[in-house]
């Protein structure tokens, strides 16, 4: 198949490009490099050093003989997007090309506006490019479980059956996003669903949980193929942050009471889920939603697991509770459905101690690169003006 990956230089986009290429598909990547630009401007960095996209693709061709073509560009640049769609004629479009974190969107007005502009307008351009130049291709869009929030009822996969005043209907599941980033994802979902309805497009919206892990079979082939290890308080996932904190003797930083519960998924399962969606495409006119996670944990549970794994490595791990900078429930009901991908063949890699120990070992390898100034939260949902760490 011809697979176009938008955002194919990112934490998930790059391993996904390698995965599909290794399976024999023809892969083309578009990426604006905005994530790298953020690091450069703010003196952030991946814990694991990562190579340029040029070096990465050259190393992949050297190791496997397979070529991943790419262009540096933005989904908001419609002429560029249209040209790639016309020339490459993808069978599937994998859409990772969005500003991907809540803290970034809550820094200040400029970052909130950028998040909305980049995510919503970029996705709208993608929908028009598919309609205009490749209407039969399948859009697979990475969404987030954060669209749902933490309702006091079970979370279904995208839709809910409702009976009200004697009438029944199947409606989009009510959304309770908790940041401007999550709001941008809700807008995306509505736009995609509407485009499928009016233009007969086909789309799969993958509401993904928090991803952990930094290695896949493909990234292990060569150090030059490594993907990001984000541990900072803007882009870092909670388990990555815990691992980075543990290996430098810094306390694991839990925001608030730590009862916040979310869905989690191993990066190996993420790349497999995208493959499952691509190989089992939506029908023409169909907008479907899969909840993409394999387990649920509270932040307290993750901290306890990380503490135990640190002890196995001879590291004394402390736990510290900080004032919660976010506006969220810290103790709540959380039960979400995730059966669709399992029915289609996903065989999960679960968060066992050995898995987290391997991530912590990787953090130990690069412990000298951990910047303590990036660990504590500097973005507060309640403030009218936030700031990045002092090295901003």
The Cα–Cα gap between 144 and 264 comes to 11
Active-site entry in 101, 144, 227, 270: 144
Cite the beta strand spans of the chain per DSSP E.
2-6, 26-31, 68-72, 92-95, 138-144, 159-164, 167-172, 202-208, 210-212, 252-255, 261-266, 287-292, 295-298, 319-322
> What are the structure tokens assigned to 136, written together?
């039969």
19, 185, 235, 261: the catalytic one is 185
Q: How far apart, in whole angstroms, are the C-alpha atoms of residue 206 and residue 145?
A: 9
Catalytic annotation, pick one of 181, 212, 264, 287:
181
Q: Which residues pair with 160 in a beta bridge?
A: 171
30-44 core/surface letters (b: 16 or more CB in 10 A; e: else): bbbebbbebbeeeeb
d(CA 237, CA 149): 17
8 A C-beta contact, residue 64 and residue 41: no
Is 181 annotated as catalytic?
yes
Which DSSP category does 331 fall into?
S
Q: Is 151 helix (H, G, I), strand (E, B) or coil?
A: coil
Inter-axis angle of helices 353-365 and 299-312, nearest 10: 70
Assess whether 144 carries a catalytic annotation: yes
Between strands 167-172 and 261-266, the pairing is unpaired
Cα–Cα distance for residue pair 34/100, rounded to 1 Å: 11
What positions carry a catalytic annotation?
Answer: 144, 181, 185
């Amino acid at each position: 198949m011809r697979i176009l990956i938008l955002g194919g230089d990112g934490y998930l986009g790059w391993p996904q490009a390698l995965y599909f290429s290794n399976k024999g598909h023809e892969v083309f990547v578009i990426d604006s490099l905005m994530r790298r630009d953020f690091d450069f401007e703010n003196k952030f960095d991946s814990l694991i050093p990562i190579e340029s996209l040029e070096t990465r693709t050259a190393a992949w061709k050297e190791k496997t003989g397979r070529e991943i073509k790419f262009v540096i560009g933005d989904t908001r640049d419609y002429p560029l997007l249209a040209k790639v769609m016309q020339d490459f004629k993808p069978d599937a479009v994998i859409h990772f090309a969005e500003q991907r974190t809540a803290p970034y969107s809550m820094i200040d007005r400029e970052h909130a506006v950028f998040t909305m502009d980049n995510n919503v307008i970029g996705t709208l351009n993608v929908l028009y490019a598919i309609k205009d130049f490749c209407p039969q291709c399948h859009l697979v869009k990475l969404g987030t479980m954060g669209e749902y929030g933490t309702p006091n009822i079970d979370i279904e996969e995208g839709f809910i059956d409702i009976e009200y005043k004697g009438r029944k209907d199947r409606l989009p599941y009510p959304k309770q996003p908790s940041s401007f980033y999550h709001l941008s994802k809700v807008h995306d979902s509505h736009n995609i669903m509407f485009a499928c309805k009016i233009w007969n497009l086909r789309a799969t919206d993958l509401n993904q949980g928090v991803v952990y892990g930094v290695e896949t079979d493909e990234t292990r082939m060569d150090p030059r193929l490594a993907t990001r290890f984000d541990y900072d308080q803007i882009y870092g996932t909670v388990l990555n942050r815990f691992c980075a904190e543990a290996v430098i003797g810094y306390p694991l930083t839990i925001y608030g009471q730590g009862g916040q519960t979310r869905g989690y998924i191993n990066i190996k399962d993420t790349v497999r889920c995208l493959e499952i969606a691509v190989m089992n495409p939506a029908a023409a006119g169909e907008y479907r939603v899969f909840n993409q996670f394999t387990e649920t944990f509270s932040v307290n549970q993750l901290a306890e697991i990380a503490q135990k794994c640190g002890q196995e490595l001879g590291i004394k791990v402390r736990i510290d509770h900080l004032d919660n900078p976010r506006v969220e429930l810290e103790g709540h009901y959380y039960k979400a459905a995730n059966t669709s991908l399992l029915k289609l063949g996903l065989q999960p890699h679960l968060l066992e101690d050995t898995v987290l120990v391997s991530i912590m070992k990787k953090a130990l390898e690069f412990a000298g690169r951990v910047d303590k100034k990036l660990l504590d939260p500097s973005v507060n949902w309640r403030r009218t003006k936030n700031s990045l760490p002092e090295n901003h």
